[in-house]
Structure 1
Amino acid sequence: MTSGEIFGQILLVLFLLVVVIFVLVVLFRSIRIIPQANAGVVERLGKYHKTLMPGLNILVPFIDRLRPLIDMREQVVSFPPQPVITEDNLVVSIDTVVFFQVTDARAATYEIANYLGAVEQLTTTTLRNVVGSLNLEEALTSRDNINGQLRVVLDETTGKWGVRVGRVELKAIDPPLSIQDSMEKQMRAERDRRAQILTAEGTKQAAILQAEGSRQASILEAEGEAQAAVLRANGEAQAIETVFGAIHAGDPDSKLLAYQYLQMLPKIAEGESNKLWIIPTELTEALKGITSGFMSGRGPDTTGATPFTPPTAPRA
């Protein structure tokens, strides 16, 4: 084999190698695999051509160009604290968190140069406008209202960029240190006031319950004494009725009857209630005779005494 033939074979091998490399490059540039939850924007000769969906896609080599992939998932971005002046001229530091999602890859690519930076700047500007119309107390207690206003403004503006803002949250609102000290003192004073009110309410309720218990005890004691007095009076009445019944059953004479009645007077007089006694005339005469008889040593004198008829005991 001559040197010319060898040189020709070398050229052939080089040509075949170049062809293989060219084919591999063409295949590499023609086949694109888009991952799930991503989208790719294709430009043909520098102009938007189409948007590639997840999966296997074929491009025209050297004519079509694939721009960087765009994440279509919902994203969470926490922006650094921003100083905001409230209506009462206080500077507060506010941290914000934005939840957004790219819904149109073409608009996010061509309608805005940097949609993430634009969302951040728009959030800061809108936050200053919203919080600037509120005083510090309203800003601290109206987070839901601020979040809603931010979301509406951001979603309306970013819609033409192919971005949907789903939620905006104020992560922290930090007032100046002097204001924080004043608020802490105010909260301590409020807690002390509530504690004093609760203590006073407890003391008041305890005094009311104690007074109510004393009143109930006095009422029950008085009722018990009244019932005891009634029972004692009933017993005494029954005893008197029994004695008079026994005397009548034995048919005693006037002397014995007066003597028995005289013995019953101390028992009848027992008790705490005041009594007014009405003694019949016959009993008085009989008692005079008995008393004079005992004073003279002759025994009871019943001469000229009117026979005594004992009164009938009242029925209970």
Structure 2
Amino acid sequence: MLAITILFLFVMFILYKLMLIVPMREVHVIERLGKFRTTLAPGFHFLIPFFDRVAYKHDTREQVLDVPPQSCISKDNIQLEVDGLVYLRVMDGKLASYGIEDYRMAAVNLAQTTMRSEIGKLTLSETFSERERLNEAIVREIDKASDPWGIKMLRYEIKNITPSRHVIHTLEKQMEAERRKRAEITLASAEKEATINMSQGERQEAINISEGHKQKRINEAKGTAQEIAIVANAQAEAMSLVAKALAVKGGNEAMNMQLKEQFIEQLGDIMRKSDIAVVPAELAKMEGFFEGIEQVTGTVNALKGAKA
């Protein structure tokens, strides 16, 4: 009975060594008598017991490796603490097993050195503004160096870029000064704009006033011209009527009589309104004429009295 049990266990052990099931997410590297034989893909396989063995197992899924923080010096000599993440995948189980001792540790160290080298090519401001280009450059360099290891570097992501406390304090002062500068520029631009608007308003006001004065003078000139034209037309019409009246018999005598009446009326107005009596020469002659008539009348009356 004991022998049967031992035989059964031996057979089961042989079957266990004979059959191999590789999971979907893995590849197995098989060695025969210590020498590489093949790489088994996922599925069911047979092995030769005591001759074949599974030397290495590799996960073919995408792997994420954490890159520890490290000190880097930028192009403008500023010290930075930078960490990141490496995404890779095993593409060749044989190279991943025999090409390097530990591809994970090698990928992390290579990422650190490459990141340090790439950051040294950029200034501090460029490390923040050009992360995408920096990630692509690191992936390109790591993928080129890791090709003999049978792995594929998919991407690299920088998590944090932390300057030293002194640099942070300096940057805060710089940002505050920059904000103050932008505020002063904004205020100056606003004042300039206000001054320009005010001057344009005053200019437009002066233009409007001058246009108003110009239009006023034009209107006044037009009114004066129309007034002169109306007066001239009236005078011309009056002169035409006077000329027609003079052409009629007795027109001259009527004109002379009219002029004399106007003269006497105007002279009376002048005498009433003025404080100093002004006697024209013609009036003096008329006064002498009337005095002569009075003397003749007096003489005639005297002669009549003597005869009586």
Give the TM-score normalised by structure 2. Answer: 0.71
Distance 2:75 2:225 in 1: 92
- Within the candidate set 122, 143, 155, 1:167 is matched to 155
Q: Does residue 71 of the first structure (1) align with residue 46 of the second (2)?
A: no
The one of 265, 270, 279 equivalent to 1:295 is 270
Provide Cα deviations, 1:71-91, integer angstroms capped at 9, x if missing partner: 122222121111234566653
CA distance in 2 between counterparts of 1:289 and 1:22 reads 171
Seen in structure 2, the aligned counterparts of structure 1 residues 228 and 99 have a Cα distance that, compared at 3 Å, is same
**Amino acid in structure 2 at the alignment position of 1:176:** S
Given the superposition, is the C-alpha separation of residues 241 and 86 from structure 1 closer, same or farther in structure 2, using an over 3 Å criterion?
closer
1:121-180 Cα shifts (integer Å, max 9, x gaps): 222233334445666556555545543443333222211111222323332221210111
Distance 1:86 1:215, change over 3 A: closer
Question: For residues 134 and 235 of structure 1, do their structure 2 counterparts lie closer, same or farther at Cα, with a shift above 3 Å needed?
Answer: closer
**More helix by percentage:** 2
Q: How does 1:200-215 map to 2 (within 5 A)?
A: 200-215=188-203
After superposition, the Cα gap between the structure-2 partners of 1:54 and 1:151, relative to the gap in structure 1 and judged at 3 Å, is same
Task: Give the C-alpha shift of residue 187 in structure 1.
Answer: 0.9
User: Which of 230, 236, 257 is the aligned partner of 1:242?
Assistant: 230
1:108 corresponds to: 96
Q: Does 1:61 align with 2:61?
A: no
Counterparts of 1:258-273 in structure 2, within 5 Å, are: none
Provide closer, same or farther for how the CA distance between residues 291 and 27 of structure 1 changes in structure 2, counting only shifts above 3 A.
Answer: farther
User: CA deviation digits over 1:265-312, x for unaligned, max 9?
Assistant: xxxxxxxxxxxxxxxxxxxxxx98875464357xxx9x9xxxxxxxxx
| Residue of 2, 12, 16 corresponding to 1:28 | 16
1:216 Cα offset (Å): 1.3
TM-score normalised by length of structure 1: 0.69
Correspondent of 1:119 among 85, 88, 107 = 107
SS in 2 for 1:73: coil
- 1:193 lines up with 2:181 in the alignment: yes
Task: Quote the Cα distance in structure 2 between the aligned partners of 1:244 and 1:88.
Answer: 94
Are positions 1:150 and 2:125 aligned together?
no
Q: Is the 8 A contact 2:30 2:56 kept in 1?
A: no
The DSSP-based 3-state class of the residue aligned with 2:146 is helix
- Aligned-pair identity (%): 35
Q: Distance in 1 between matches of 2:193 and 2:163?
A: 42
2:81 counterpart residue number? 93
* Aligned position for 2:276: none
Over alpha carbons, which structure has the higher Rg?
A: 2
Q: Distance in 1 between matches of 2:116 and 2:230?
A: 105
Counterpart residue number, 2:289 = none
Counterpart of 1:233 (choices 221, 233, 250) is: 221
Give the secondary-structure state (helix, strand or coil) at the position aligned to 1:69.
strand
Structure 1 residues 288 and 49, CA, compared in 2 at 3 Å: closer, same or farther?
Answer: farther
Kindly state the Cα deviation for residue 215 of structure 1 after the two structures are TM-superposed: 1.0
SS across alignment from 2:179: helix
Name the CA distance, whole Å, in 1 between partners of 2:224 and 2:77: 93
Tell me: CA distance 1:134–1:229, structure 2 relative to 1, closer, same or farther (3 Å).
closer
Deviation at 1:218, TM superposition (A): 1.8
1:180 is matched by which residue type in structure 2? Answer: I
CA distance in 1, matches of 2:22, 2:38: 13
Q: Take 1:49 and 1:252, find their aligned partners in 2: how far apart are those partners?
A: 144
Q: Which amino acid aligns with 2:191?
A: T
Paired AA for residue 94 in structure 1: V
Aligned match of 2:168: 180
3-state SS of paired residue (1:62)? coil
Instruction: Tell me the distance in 2 between the aligned counterparts of 1:91 and 1:27.
Output: 61
Whether the 8 Å CA contact 2:83–2:158 is kept in 1: the answer is yes
User: 2:84 is aligned with what amino acid?
Assistant: T
